Amino acid sequence: MSEHGKRDTLLPYGKQWLDEADIEAVVQVLKGDFITQGPAIEMFEQKVADYVGTCYGVAFSNGTAALHGACFAAGIEAGDEVITTPLTFLASSNCVLYQGGTPVFADIDPVTYNIDPKQIEEKLTPQTTAIIAVDFSGQPAEMDRIQAIARQHSLITIEDAAHSLGADYQGRKVGIWADMTMFSFHPVKHITTGEGGMIVTNDEAFYRKLLRFRSHGMTRDPQELTRNEGPWYYEMQELGYNYRMTDIQAALGISQMDKLDRFIARRRELVEIYNRELADIPGLVLPKQHAEANSSWHLYVVRFLPEHFQYSRKEIFEQLRAWNIGVNVHYIPVYLQPYYEDLGYKKGLCPNAEKYYESCITLPLFPGMKDEDVLYVVRAIKELA
């Protein structure tokens, strides 16, 4: 691509979309009485829970904190094993370590890139306590099969749906399949609260444990107190953390939820353009969808098979960046990180995930993109083919 045709500004791989309604929602909270621990939190929780079809939502300061809360509520502790995927962000397995448990990595399906239920079954031991499935790129994991395994072995399921708010599987929204489901509201996700996360669940016991955990392990609920010394009285019943979301964030989330379906529809339109325009490039592997899954398309990841390209993945990545295309790589298999290597995890553990990692590049995808932005990325890739 000539310098004349190069973009002047970076096209990021992901970006928030905020409008005047979002700004006004935050301003109204700033003008009110509560900027934290106020009514906006519960309103946001209910709005997300209603959208996905669950009874309860518990907002957290970020998605990692929410996953930590889910592991706490699940009772994970030292000696427990939790099966998860290596193809995810660090938080999906770090949350197990926070509780003293041991992450066990099951390989991915080489077509969908989600955790392979057959691999989960092979990793089961008497110490297995839970399964953390991850909806990679916005495509729901095969939760029917995963839930069947969990029920057979009395395991708790946690769905890391950081990528998949608004997606559905077998016609049912992500959020109602697992015992607990986590959503992330980081700026590159489907909606944003700046930083933020939430656990949704239909289990009241999990719900109450999550509420306590995010606020120092403390409760003021008269029904939960071991004694009651007066209206001021509270109890710390467990060791929790300050993982609370502010009303400022929640107000933004409430406003963003009003636009969620529109955001997802636009993501799907952009994906259709990518799929159509990139379909005939030899050696370029486009993302595949499970027949029963309807992705909300957080990421659009392609693979450059080395035997078909004159350039390495690193060279392709660097050239696309030089053309102001903000590509990324999702993800380095978690167990290849130095910290995990020090824990004894070794390369070769999940061959499918490692093979995927060697050739993947994430292309820009966010609701504010224009059709011509996608076509610019397509032209750049075709020049490298």
241 close to 213: Cβ distance less than 8 angstroms: yes
Find the domain containing 183 and state its range: 20-257
In this predicted model, what pLDDT tens digit does every residue of 244-285 receive, in sequence order?
999 999 999 999 999 999 999 999 999 999 999 999 999 999
Segment-wise mean pLDDT, segments of 10 residues, the chain, 385 residues: 79 98 98 96 98 98 98 98 98 98 98 98 98 98 98 98 98 98 98 98 98 98 95 97 98 98 98 98 97 98 94 96 98 98 98 98 98 97 94
DSSP state at residue 193: -
Instruction: Please give the model's pTM, rounded to 2 decimal places.
Output: 0.97
Please count the other Cβ atoms lying within 10 Å of the Cβ belonging to residue 323.
21
Q: What is the CATH number of the domain that holds 226?
A: 3.40.640.10
Final residue belonging to a domain, choices 209, 240, 257: 257
Same domain, 252 and 368: no
Rounded to an integer, what distance in angstroms lies between the CA atom of residue 87 and that of residue 108?
Answer: 7
Judge whether 15 lies within some domain. no
What distance in Å separates the CA atoms of residue 204 and residue 206, rounded to the nearest whole number?
A: 5
Whether residue 89 sits in one domain with residue 232: yes
Tell me the C-alpha to C-alpha distance, in Å, between residue 359 and each of 225, 273, 307. Answer: 55, 22, 11
Tokens of 210: 């999550």
Could you tell me if residue 3 is inside a domain?
no
Both 310 and 354 in one domain: the answer is yes
What is the number of structural domains in the chain? 2
Residues 91 and 231 in one domain: yes
Choosing from 257, 281, 307, the residue where a domain stops is: 257
Q: What is the pLDDT of residues 136-157, one digit of tens each?
A: 999 999 999 999 999 999 999 9
DSSP collapsed to 3 states, 12-42: CCCCCCCCHHHHHHHHHHHHCCCCECCHHHH
Closest by CA to 170, choosing from 90, 52, 290, 274, is 290
Task: Copy the structure tokens of residue 273.
Answer: 């353009």
Tokens, residue 98? 């926070």
* Residue 28 resides in a domain: yes
Residue 11 lies in a domain: no
* Same-domain status, 298 and 246: no
Q: Name the one residue in this structure whose structure tokens are 């020090």.
A: 342
Residue 5: predicted pLDDT: 77
Does residue 83 belong to any structural domain of this protein? yes
Domain co-membership, 268 together with 242 = no
User: What is residue 73's three-state secondary structure?
Assistant: helix
Whether residue 246 sits in one domain with residue 270: no
The domain boundary residue, chosen from 214, 236, 257: 257
Q: Tell whether 248 and 268 lie within a shared domain.
A: no
Residues 373 and 295 in one domain: yes
What CATH number is attached to the domain comprising 329? Answer: 3.90.1150.10
Q: Are residues 58 and 134 in the same domain?
A: yes
Q: Work out the angle at residue 243's Cα, subtended by the Cα atoms of residues 137 and 257, and round it to the nearest 5 degrees.
A: 50
283 and 142 part of one domain: no
Task: With respect to residue 8, please indicate whether it lies within any of the assigned structural domains.
Answer: no
Flag whether 269 is in a domain. Answer: yes
For residues 244 and 265, membership in a common domain is answered with no
Rounded to a whole number, what is the distance in angstroms from the first to the last CA of the chain?
A: 12
Residue 1 in any domain: the answer is no
Output the pLDDT for position 2. 61
